[in-house]
Amino acid sequence: MSRRSLIGEALASPAPDQPSVSEAKDAAGATASRNFTTRRLEGFTEAARMVKRPTIRLKPAECSIWPGNARDYEQLTEPRLRSLIESIQAENGNRIPVVVRRKQQGELQYELIIGTRRHWAVAWLNANHYPDIELVAIIEDLDDEAAFRLADIENREREDISDLERGLNYKAAVDTYYDGLQARLAERVKISKSTLARYIGLTEIPHTIVSAFASPMELQVRYGDKLLPAIRNPSLRPRMEEAAKQIAAEQSFRQSGDEEPISGPQVVVRLLKAVSGRPGRAQKAVIEAAGSSIGVIEKDRARGLTITINPTDLSADEILDALRPLIEKAKILKRPAP
């Protein structure tokens, strides 16, 4: 049984008031995924107490999307949901109901709490030759905090929600429902405080650096662990952001030519390489003219170029001719040299 099916079963089937660990193991059977879901439901008593409820059918256009869900609805696309679309089309509807609640205000009667992918897929089918397919839904009476925890149960089972989406969702929930205390959220949704801190840490990564990745889906918690020390360092962050801009430009160029994007691990390596040297470390080159050394040109990230000319019998034109190729090689000119 798939993880998604397990969530649907938890929402639609009777469950004991307070399952014990042994009962959870019995219900889990032999599969680790079922064990995980049962343990998660122990931490959410509202879901554990749900009894089988009748379903309703509605059009996606009849309900708005609750903004407290982790998934970014705007990032959903037909290629990303192709298998789900085909499944709903074959079954003439979503087999696992979505969860909605009634809205007290606004033009639409319902608000979608769980099931953004199913909502998007049915909406797509309605707009693409299947107008009669409806969204199967369960109505629940939930406040925002309970809705957040219920959505977290399902989203924890998903592999197609980015770590950044989870981090943004957790940060918003900490600020909105838990008085800014990460420990309170960690206790309520039964995850470790360190894991929660790692997800929320991703929200510190500026958009400039996120854009270096081919997609926000590529930005994983383990990458954040490596990048955040430099991002939090005021002297290193500008250098990483500058490197990120160059990588983002390359990603865009590759995308326009249908080339393979730069992978997440490669992006991390390049970003870290940009801040691995000592800030302001100078690069020196000898200035040669007429077969002999006449001085030194020094390139420094902070100060630009420093030119030292030793006493010489050469003319000014000869000195300038010697300097020209070195200045061009230093790549400090904003416009190509004439």
Q: Which DSSP string do the residues of 92-128 spell out, in sequence order? A: TS-SSPEEEEE-SSSSSSEEEEE-HHHHHHHHHHHHT
The pairing of beta strand 304-309 with beta strand 110-114? unpaired
Q: Is the pLDDT of residue 32 over 70?
A: no
Which of 6-10, 108-112, 319-323 is least confident?
6-10
- Report whether pLDDT(302) > 60: no
The pLDDT of residue 253 is above 70: yes
Residues 6+ apart with CB under 8 A from 221: 163, 167, 198, 199, 201, 202
Residue of higher predicted confidence among 72 and 85: 85
Decide if pLDDT at 228 tops 90: yes
Segment among 33-47, 103-117, 277-291 with least mean pLDDT: 33-47
Q: How does residue 265 score in pLDDT terms, banded at 50, 70 and 90?
A: very high
What is the average per-residue pLDDT within 233-259? 87
pTM (predicted TM-score): 0.61
Looking at this protein, which amino acid is placed at residue 1? Answer: M
What's residue 336's pLDDT? Answer: 55
The model's confidence at residue 24, banded by pLDDT at 50, 70 and 90, is: very low
The token duo for 135 is: 């969204």
Start-end of H helices in 55-205:
82-91, 116-127, 144-156, 163-177, 182-189, 193-201
pLDDT digits (tens, 9 = 90+) for 160-193: 788 998 999 999 999 999 999 999 999 998 889 9
The alpha carbon of 27 is separated from its chain's Cα centroid by a whole number of angstroms, namely 33
Proportion of the chain above pLDDT 90, given as a percent: 30
* pLDDT score for 3: 39
d(CA 324, CA 245): 29
Question: What percent of the chain clears pLDDT 70, i.e. is strictly above it?
Answer: 77
Determine the Cα–Cα distance for residues 84 and 160; give it in Å rounded to an integer: 12
Q: Which residues contact 100 (CB under 8 A, 6 or more apart)?
A: 58, 63, 110, 111, 112, 113, 137, 138, 139, 140
